[in-house]
Structure 1
């Protein structure tokens, strides 16, 4: 099952840098998926892909958003962890209910630059770049909120891992 998940061309993996909303010629929302080594288009909106990826790891987009709210109080345009063990932390560029909402992988960002007008350039660690319809201030805020959320969740996980040995039940014989 896992091999099928990671080999399917329509699935998100730790190599996914962004899922970008695009309009096709009929006005329907599609997704441009940016991977470290390739890019391809999918006939589904980005938030649907994000929800599907969350479900693969035992939750849903709504569940991940609720988790973010519980950990650090972020309620709008909340960053999420699709899978914290593999570092899959993503944040939306707009309300996830908007057809213009794209999702960016926090760990793949190298830097962001002010773009023309209300746009922002995202430069990834592999030096690919994209121009998004989000103000530089909003993008900077999203990056910082994701870093805060990631720090808090990672610390919770580390705490549990460090204390699991202390409370581990005796093995069943």
Structure 2
């Protein structure tokens, strides 16, 4: 542990301060240790349950988030999840989310990572805290790249949609209104001349 006081709580929702959620064995059961920038929490739920509940907390179910990731980036294994895009809450799993040892890491908080051994990587977070995870540095790298790609694709869609709305509100409607008024003026002119 990093000298942080660990608070045991019933429910935990991932938020913009959450750096990672990892499984811990507590009393013979798998719990979750949620590490935030300045706090640590112990929850009786498994990490995947916390991810699922956090998706629901922000209004979308986990399965929909998975389908969205597949649709946006075309991957189907170890899928990164957009928990809440407005606050840039994107998490990636270190192994298959179905495995009990899966750790979920927040993309936004990772500053860098280093290889410690073949199956261990140190992740240094933006608050300068570092943790060693039982996963290869190449896995951390590929998961970060996928999650960054997911974030970029989503932002492109949002931006593209915003432009469509802007152009449809400004462009064609203004042109049509102008064309109609010219047509109307021409008709009036013809009527007045007769």
TM-score, normalised to structure 2, is 0.78
Tell me the CA shift for residue 163 of structure 1.
2.6
Q: Provide the residue aligned with 1:3 in structure 2.
A: none
The residue that corresponds to 2:23 in the other structure is 21
Give the whole-Å Cα distance in 1 for the aligned partners of 2:126 and 2:159.
26
Shift of 1:56: 1.6
| Residue-by-residue CA offset, 1:110-129 (whole Å, 9 max, x unaligned) | 00111234111111000111
How far apart, in 2, do the equivalents of 1:92 and 1:68 lie? 13
1:138 aligns with 2:133: no
Question: Within 1, Cα distance between the matches of 2:19 and 2:159?
Answer: 25
Name stretches of at least 5 consecutive residues in structure 2 with no aligned partner. 1-9, 170-194
Q: Which runs of 5+ in 1 are unaligned?
A: 1-7, 169-173
List structure 1 runs of 4+ shifted beyond 2 angstroms.
161-168
Q: Which residue does 2:69 correspond to in 1?
A: 68
What SS class does the counterpart of residue 17 from structure 1 fall into?
Answer: strand
Tell me whether 85-94 or 152-161 shows the greater mean CA deviation: 152-161
Q: What CA distance in whole angstroms lies between the structure 1 residues aligned with 2:159 and 2:165?
A: 10
Task: List per-residue Cα deviations over 1:87-125 (Å, max 9, x = no partner).
Answer: 000000111111111100001000011123411111100
**Paired residues, what number?**
161
The answer as to 2:158 corresponding to 1:157 is: yes
How much does 1:151 deviate? 0.6
- TM-aligned CA deviation for residue 9 of structure 1: 6.7
Distance 1:49 1:9, change over 3 A: closer
Distance 2:26 2:168 in 1: 54
